[in-house]
Amino acid sequence: MSSFDTIIHLVYLVAAVLFVRGLHDMNSPKTARRGNLLSAAGMACAAIAAAAVIVRDRGLSGYAVSALVAGLAVGAAIGVTTARRIAITAMPQLVSLFNTVGGGAAALVAVGDATGGSHDRLATLPVDVSIPVALDVLIGAVTFSGSLVAAGKLQGVIPGRPLSFTGSRALAALLALVAAAGGILLISGQLPGPALAVTAVAAVGLGLLLVLPIGGADMPVVISLLNALTGTAVAMAGFVIDNTVLITAVPSWAPQARSSRSSWRRR
């Protein structure tokens, strides 16, 4: 391992520690501000390290650099504006929207790396990569649609009462089976392109049907569970792209979700 790789791994380790410590501090209102700052510092370290690796490998074209800079600028502007304007009482739906973005982004990262711009590459993926890809797409898509519904219910865009229809449970079970079958086909290398698409679409529908029947009063608990799923999806993306910081930082999501559920129960 070169000295450059050693430094990158150390930076990733620091980022992971900052993530875990930051999320731990968010358990209490007294330390939440410090937790946010630590988590932001960890994200900055991880982003800088990733950019350094990309520059060294010269893996970006001018168009890709422009897209990244534009995305960074737009995302930062939206994040700062939202954080300044959002009321503290609207924080649960903001967290749900973050889950939406996180789950969707994790799934897209896995799909982009697995396909490499070509559907033919999916058929040649080793099992240790195709399994995380299938799980990432499944979990990320469920989190994406489920979190979007949760945010809509809390914001009042979607009625807060339980929404269901005749046969909704049977349809949800069918979508779960379809998503699982698509994942198995993807892992086995049989029709990997269509299997990936079927898994994603079925998982999106499953996320909708799982959250719509839950009332708005229970949305905070649902969001905490979706938060844990987002962490799992990010971990799967880390296995796909072989990124240590994505894998090591994720175990903090589940304890954070458990703490959130306990806090809401006490209220």
Is residue 196 domain-shared with residue 168, that is, in the same domain?
Answer: yes
Is residue 63 domain-shared with residue 120, that is, in the same domain?
Answer: no
Question: Can you state the angle between helices 168-188 and 192-211, rounded to 10 degrees?
Answer: 150
Is residue 128 domain-shared with residue 254, that is, in the same domain?
Answer: yes
Q: Are 227 and 95 in contact (CB under 8 A)?
A: yes
181 against 102, higher pLDDT: 181
Q: Which of 38, 63, 246 is nearest to 140 (CA)?
A: 246
Amino acid of residue 173: A
Is residue 233 domain-shared with residue 169, that is, in the same domain?
Answer: yes
Domain that holds residue 194: 88-267
Q: Residue 259 has what pLDDT? A: 45
Is residue 53 domain-shared with residue 160, that is, in the same domain?
Answer: no
Amino acid of residue 83: A
Confidence label for 117 from pLDDT (cuts 50, 70 and 90):
low
Is residue 188 domain-shared with residue 245, that is, in the same domain?
Answer: yes
pLDDT at 267 over 50: no
147-173 pLDDT, tens digit each:
999 988 888 888 888 888 888 899 999
Is residue 171 domain-shared with residue 160, that is, in the same domain?
Answer: yes
CA distance 235 to 53: 20
- Name the domain boundary from 24, 59, 85: 85
What 3-state DSSP class applies to 233? helix
Q: Are 207 and 145 in contact (CB under 8 A)?
A: yes
Counting the structural domains of the chain, the total is: 2
Is residue 79 domain-shared with residue 92, that is, in the same domain?
Answer: no
- % of the chain exceeding 90 in pLDDT: 18
Confidence label for 264 from pLDDT (cuts 50, 70 and 90):
very low
- Name the domain boundary from 19, 52, 85: 85
CA distance 191 to 210: 28
What sign for the dihedral angle of Cα 24, 26, 30, 36? positive
* Joined tokens for residue 235: 């971990």
DSSP secondary structure code for residue 117 in this structure? T
Is residue 98 domain-shared with residue 223, that is, in the same domain?
Answer: yes
Please give the C-alpha separations between residue 253 and each of 158, 226, 240, 250, 260, in angstroms, as whole numbers. Answer: 27, 10, 19, 6, 11
